[in-house]
Structure 1
Amino acid sequence: MTTYDPATVKISPESWVADQARRYEESDGTEATDMKGSPCLLLDYQGWRTGEWRRTVLIYGRSGEDYLIVASKGGAPEHPLWFRSLVANPEVHVRVLGERFTARAEVLTPEEKAEVWPGLVEVYPPYEDYQKSTEREIPVIRLTRV
């Protein structure tokens, strides 16, 4: 396990994600804060195998004070790698615009997902097609400040 230091977090190997994450961070949350018009946050999470801290950019919705993220992976048949890490290590660090905070990640139950799903599809309409294109149930994760 490694100690959390936002300056040493490993950024996603996907070049477009890495570019967006760098611009978001370097601008102190004033640039690269959306994806195709949908709001984005930076999620720093601890890898389930290595314990190393990693960063990705994710679209988010809201539920009261909590943030909601979707493990869609574009409707792929498998979950994104970061999802397994959140299940194993639910304490995460989040940046939304200029604010940074620690949060706890919790996978919503099917009933909880059904309540918030329409709002998430409103934030990012392709989620609906992603769910239709895969047999797996796409998880929704609540990020609650700690």
Structure 2
Amino acid sequence: MPLGVKLVQKVSSTRAFAKVAPHVVPAMDRAVHRLTRGKVLLSAQMLPGVVLTARGARSGLPRRTPLACMPEEGAGTWLLVGSNFGRTGHPAWTGNLLAHPDAEVSWKGRDIPVRARLLAGAEREEAWRVLLAFWPPYATYQARVEREIRVFRLTRRSEDVAA
């Protein structure tokens, strides 16, 4: 593993990062994503990323959230982790997906309709094992909080399968 990746993993596991990152990283990602017409996410230089557009749980208004993801090779699906950088509460976007599972992701400059499903039981455990191999800091985030970190699988909705 390259030294830069190890350094980013170490920094991203700190409490200081957890305090600052939720305010800085998404704002930078949204700005760069908008300026590049959906082709670039700064955070995706280290981890793959999507911009999730989901309806607000209470408002019903579209909410755009840049997120790290783990594409599942060959399956055309993505795993999203509601780690909230190891902070105590679930991130708002997870509640939005629970209330309104039909959403959209911007992936490599393309908008794709998806359906989100919260993983549980053995399916979640298997996904969590793969996610920890993919990005080890998730273990630090989980150890920091009492809640179980939510893991979602996003699947292309049928109207986009042929594309």
TM-score (normalizing by structure 1): 0.83
Which residue of the partner structure matches residue 14 of structure 2? none
Which residue of the partner structure matches residue 27 of structure 1? 36
Q: How does 1:1-146 map to 2 (within 5 A)?
A: 14-35=23-44, 37-63=46-72, 64-146=75-157
Structure 2: unaligned runs, 5 residues or longer: 1-21, 158-163
Residue identity over aligned pairs, in percent, reads 34
Contact 1:23–1:32 (CA under 8 A) maintained in structure 2: yes
Larger strand proportion of the pair: 1
Alpha-carbon distance in 2 for matches of 1:78, 1:105: 20
Contact 2:48–2:71 (CA under 8 A) maintained in structure 1: no
Alpha-carbon distance in 2 for matches of 1:110, 1:25: 37
Larger helix proportion of the pair: 2
SS of the counterpart of 2:34?
A: helix
SS of the counterpart of 2:147?
A: coil
Which residue of the partner structure matches residue 11 of structure 2? none
In structure 1, give the amino acid aligned to 2:134.
V
Aligned Cα root-mean-square deviation (Å): 1.8
TM-score (normalizing by structure 2): 0.75
In structure 1, give the amino acid aligned to 2:68.
I
Alpha-carbon distance in 2 for matches of 1:67, 1:32: 16
Alpha-carbon distance in 2 for matches of 1:72, 1:88: 18
Runs of 4+ aligned structure 1 residues displaced above 6 Å come to: none
SS of the counterpart of 1:137?
A: coil
Structure 1: unaligned runs, 5 residues or longer: 1-12
